[in-house]
Amino acid sequence: MDSFGSDFSSVSSGSGKVDTGTIMEQVKVQIAVANAQELLQRMTDKCFKKCIGKPGGTLDNSEQKCIAMCMDRYMDAWNTVSRAYNSRLQRERARI
C-alpha cells in the first residue's frame, strides 16, 4: 500500500496542484495490471484443475499438451468476449 501512495506523491506540480491526467493514467495502468493478473490466475486455476490429475515434480507430455491447449482456448475465449464487450461499449457510447 505504501507504493500506491508514493506513486501519487510525485504527480503534483511545484504549485501544489495535482495533475489529474497523470493520476488517471496511473489508475488505468494499475487497473490493466490487476485485470491481467486476475486473468492469469483464473486461467491457471481452471487449467490446473482440468489437466493435472496427480501433482508432482514435473509434468508429463499429456499434461503439458493439455495445459497449452487449455490456456490457448481460455485466451481465445477471453479475447472473443473482450472484443464483443468493447464493441458493445462503443455502440452504447455512440447512442449517447
What mean pLDDT is predicted for residues 70-89?
Answer: 95
Give the whole-number percent of the chain exceeding pLDDT 70.
83
The full set of domains in the chain, from first to last, is: 21-94 (1.10.287.810)
What mean pLDDT is predicted for residues 15-22?
Answer: 78
CB 22 within 8 A of CB 11: yes
Taking the C-alpha atoms of residue 88 and residue 32, their distance in angstroms, rounded to an integer, is 19
What mean pLDDT is predicted for residues 11-38?
Answer: 83
Taking the C-alpha atoms of residue 26 and residue 6, their distance in angstroms, rounded to an integer, is 12
pLDDT tier for residue 55 given thresholds of 50, 70 and 90: confident
pLDDT tier for residue 70 given thresholds of 50, 70 and 90: very high
